Amino acid sequence: MQIFGIWVAAFLTLGIISFLYKDNPWYKVCESIFVGISAGYWFVTLFFDNILGLFWRGITAPDPNYMLLVGATLGVMMLLRLVPSIGWISRWPLAFVVGATAGFYLINYFSSNVMLQVQSTLMPLLGSRFGQPVFSASLYDTIGNIVIAGGTFTGLVYFFFSKEHKGAFGGAARIGIWTIMITFGASFGYTVMSRMSLLIGRMEFIFGDWLGLIR
């Protein structure tokens, strides 16, 4: 039985890889299987986790949480889209979701992205990484701190909307985009290598577990 499973997995793995050459029936079959199976998987998971686990158990629990009923009515309203005449009612749950998301994200992003990031930029320029006295701080830390404070500042200048990027302001914006480009280059170079190990793992499955060619 296990052998049959490995052959199925190998067939699907090679089918997906065949897409690199060109779109072909083998890939289309694998794609269709993946779409069908995964849609079914998610529906079953959502059914057991949310409908049974969250909703039903919440209602039938010793101290039932009636607020869940409010959620259910909003859900039913969403389904009423299928009825053209009163389909517009589905805008209410949608408005609820968008309003809640906007409110919830506004504060979260503000406190974690703005307050925290600004606060951690307020470092002395003459670096003292681990509390060494200032003047023995190595050049390494001092340059580092100047680059961090300067880079963040000029990065913000680049994102400024209401002033044309000309003159000194344009110069600062250019340094800003350069810093941002270094950030993009760094995280691209950083993740390139980790992607390789994903493929090494799959190839080991094909040539090792399936064909048994590796020791």
The minimum distance between CB 129 and another protein, in angstroms, equals 7
Nearby residues of 201 by Cβ (< 8 Å), 6 or more positions away: none
Distance (Å, whole) CA 177 – CA 157: 9
Nearer to another protein, 22 or 167 (CB): 22
**From 64, 70, 83, 171, residue interacting with another protein (rule: CB under 8 A):** 70
**From 62, 85, 130, 167, residue interacting with another protein (rule: CB under 8 A):** 130
Residue 50: C-alpha distances to residues 9, 56, 72, 180 (Å): 30, 8, 11, 41
Q: Residue 190, exposed/middle/buried by CB under 10 A (0-12, 13-18, 19+)?
A: exposed
In three-state secondary structure terms, 118 is helix
Residue 131: C-alpha distances to residues 116, 118, 137, 149 (Å): 21, 21, 9, 19
Is there binding between residue 83 and another protein (CB under 8 A)?
no
Written as one letter, the residue type at 186 is A
Is there binding between residue 57 and another protein (CB under 8 A)?
no
Name the one residue in this structure whose structure tokens are 């909307």.
161
Among positions 148-167, residues that touch another protein (CB under 8 A) are 148-165
**From 42, 61, 64, 171, residue interacting with another protein (rule: CB under 8 A):** 42
The minimum distance between CB 155 and another protein, in angstroms, equals 2
Instruction: Say which DSSP state 22 is in.
Output: -
Binding mask 5-34 for another protein (x = CB under 8 A): x--xx--xxx-xx-xxxxxxxxxxxxxxxx
Among positions 187-206, residues that touch another protein (CB under 8 A) are 187-205
The minimum distance between CB 60 and another protein, in angstroms, equals 15
Written as one letter, the residue type at 104 is F
Q: Residue 103, exposed/middle/buried by CB under 10 A (0-12, 13-18, 19+)?
A: exposed
**From 57, 61, 83, 116, residue interacting with another protein (rule: CB under 8 A):** 116
Is there binding between residue 61 and another protein (CB under 8 A)?
no
**From 57, 61, 64, 147, residue interacting with another protein (rule: CB under 8 A):** 147
**Angle made by CA atoms 110, 171, 149, in degrees to the nearest 5:** 45
**From 61, 64, 117, 171, residue interacting with another protein (rule: CB under 8 A):** 117
Among positions 166-185, residues that touch another protein (CB under 8 A) are 176-185
Is there binding between residue 60 and another protein (CB under 8 A)?
no
The minimum distance between CB 103 and another protein, in angstroms, equals 3
